[in-house]
Amino acid sequence: MKSPNHPPIETLSLTRVLYALSDPIRLGLVHSLATKGEQACGALNLAVAKSTASHHFRVLRESGVIQMRPEGTHFINSLRKEDLDQRFPGLLDAVLQAAKTETEIG
């Protein structure tokens, strides 16, 4: 497994991050990574084809929201929380809190 490219912190674009988080599937992935910690792609059992899942992981990775670390036959995904907090303080926490609120309300 070849390690994919990750954009450096200073190149992260706010609109790109917001866009990455604006999809229900991707926001769900981020929420899951935030609450359960780092996980393999397969552990997040998505309701879409694996090529589609790969697409969403790519959007999240290229926007700087997550990082992917190769490990054996799969990838371990994790939030780039510290990077995001440094570049856009409070943003990730606010989004995660809002996501939590929304799932509670329905």
Indicate which single residue of 13, 54, 86, 97 sits in contact with DNA (rule: CB under 7 A).
54
Residue 18, binding choice from a copy of itself, DNA, none, Cβ under 5 to 8 Å by partner class? a copy of itself
Q: Can you read off the two tokens belonging to residue 76? A: 């371990």
Residue 101, binding choice from a copy of itself, DNA, none, Cβ under 5 to 8 Å by partner class? a copy of itself
Smallest gap, in angstroms, from Cβ of residue 22 to DNA?
7
Q: Can you read off the two tokens belonging to residue 90? A: 């409070």
101 binds DNA (CB under 7 A): no
Q: Can you read off the two tokens belonging to residue 6? A: 């990750």
- Residue burial 1-36, b: 16+ Cβ < 10 Å; e: rest: eeeeeeeeeeebeeebbeebbeeebbbbbbbbbbee
Residue 58, binding choice from a copy of itself, DNA, none, Cβ under 5 to 8 Å by partner class? DNA
